[in-house]
Amino acid sequence: MPDITLPASLDGVELVRSVRTPARMEYTYTAGVATTRFLKGLAQGKILGERAQGGKVYVPSRGADPQLGVPTTEQVDLPHVGTLVSFCVVNVAFYGQGMEIPYTSGLILLDGSDLPLMHLIQECPVEDVHIGMRVEAVWVDASDLGPTLESIRYFRPNGEPDVPVRQPGEGVTW
Amino acid sequence: MTDDIGVLSAPLIIEYPFSRTTGPVIGAFLTGLREQILLGIRARDGRVVIPPTEYDSATGEDLTELVEVGPGGVVDTWAWVRHPMPKHPLQVPFAWALVRPDGADVGFLQPVDAGSLEAMATGMRVKPRWGDEREGSIHDLACWEPE
């Protein structure tokens, strides 16, 4: 780094080395009709998926079949158990995290659905978390239910034996 | 499935608390603002550039000679803001202007609080208005006002 020359008026003054440059954006997020149906289901302690014409069940549904582009027509009250199909152990602290590290985020494929949900995996040491593990939802108290995915506190192992999990790309039909 | 549901809506705020290191040149510039001193840097062709850059814009060579400029300056060009946004530096109508401090050869984008559109003119003389609490940030230079 080259030496810089300062005017005499700054002799002996402590130099600035860093600045705070926060970036902030404020939105109003509107869920849309399909996500609203899903969120209202959560407020009733239900996990609602929607079945597309081709037979696949999406959760949360965006209201349309991504394969055919047609509206999803049938709501499906899904069970609260599923299989962990992927996960990530978070070891790095970040701003706004709100969780003690390490913790696990997982993709949970609920039984009878075709799209995994992302949620926390708890009540399981991070080193024991594995793909194929059977998990169940742990809900907040009934009085605390609301139209938010936080109505489910986390998923935990439910003790059932592991099941085989398709690897990415396997069985893809389109 | 019912269609007559009220759609849910909620505030969503995304915020990143970045801080960044300034390097020696911008660091010196911000130090100057804290001390109410404007600093430019001498380019390889002799021109004085503000805010100072670490490298010559034409040749890419290191620049090292910081030069005190101002405090007065000239408005080279400007645009009037009738309705300030919440993030604007002034909450009254003001001008964004290229202000060229005395001794500098280029202008830099600055707010000018002239009071009214009629008081603004290309070529007008302005002087800095410093913030009361300065911490080594671009906001230490609150705005400019007619000299």
Digitized pLDDT (tens) for each residue of chain B, 147 residues in all: 444 567 889 899 998 888 999 999 999 999 999 999 999 999 999 999 999 999 999 999 999 999 999 999 999 999 999 999 988 999 999 999 999 999 999 999 999 999 999 999 999 999 999 999 999 999 999 999 999
Q: What's residue B54's pLDDT? A: 95
Any domain includes B5: no
DSSP3 helix / strand / coil % (chain B, rounded to 5): 10, 40, 50
**What pTM does this model have?**
0.64
Q: What's residue B5's pLDDT? A: 60
Q: How far is CA A87 from CA A59, A127, A172, in A?
A: 18, 12, 20
- Domain, as residue range, for B86: 23-146
Residues on chain B touching A15 (C-beta within 8 angstroms): 24, 27-28, 31
Any domain includes B104: yes
For the sheet containing A57-58, what is the strand order?
A57-58, A47-51, A74-78
Residue A59: other Cβ atoms inside 10 A: 22
Pairing of strands A103-110, A81-90: antiparallel
> By the CB < 8 Å criterion, does A93 face chain B?
no
Residues B10-51 have pLDDT tens digits of 899 998 888 999 999 999 999 999 999 999 999 999 999 999
Q: What's residue A4's pLDDT? A: 87
Interface residues from chain B to A (CB-CB < 8 Å)? 1, 3, 5-22, 24-25, 27-28, 30-32, 34-35, 37, 39, 62, 64-68, 136-137
Coil vs helix vs strand at A41: helix
Cα gap B82→B96, rounded to integer Å? 11
Coil vs helix vs strand at B11: strand
Any domain includes B9: no
> Contact at 8 Å (CB) between A2 and B64?
yes
> Contact at 8 Å (CB) between A132 and A115?
no
Any domain includes B13: no
Q: How far is CA A126 from CA A79, A99, A131, A152, B49, in A?
A: 25, 14, 12, 19, 55
**For chain A, domain boundaries:** 32-157
Q: What's residue A163's pLDDT? A: 92
Phi, then psi, of B28 in degrees rounded to 5: -65, -40
Q: What's residue A132's pLDDT? A: 95
Q: What's residue A171's pLDDT? A: 63
Closest Cβ opposite residue B5 in set A4, A20, A40: A40
> Taking CB atoms and an 8 Å cut-off, how many pairs form between chains A and B?
122
Any domain includes B90: yes
Query: In terms of CA atoms, which chain B residue is nearest residue A13?
Result: B31
Q: How many CA atoms lie within 13 A of A107 on its CB side?
A: 12
> By the CB < 8 Å criterion, does A73 face chain B?
yes
Residues on chain B touching A73 (C-beta within 8 angstroms): 1
> Contact at 8 Å (CB) between A81 and A69?
no
Cα gap B110→B113, rounded to integer Å? 10
Q: What's residue B4's pLDDT? A: 52
Pairing of strands A57-58, A47-51: antiparallel
Q: What's residue B16's pLDDT? A: 86
Q: What's residue B2's pLDDT? A: 46
**H/E element holding B34?**
helix B23-34
Any domain includes B75: yes
**Local mean pLDDT, 10-residue blocks, chain A (174 residues):** 85 91 90 91 96 90 88 93 95 81 94 94 95 97 95 97 78 59
Closest Cβ opposite residue B21 in set A10, A18, A24: A18
Domain count, chain B: 1
Q: What's residue B49's pLDDT? A: 97
Interchain proximity B8–A1, CB inside 8 Å: no
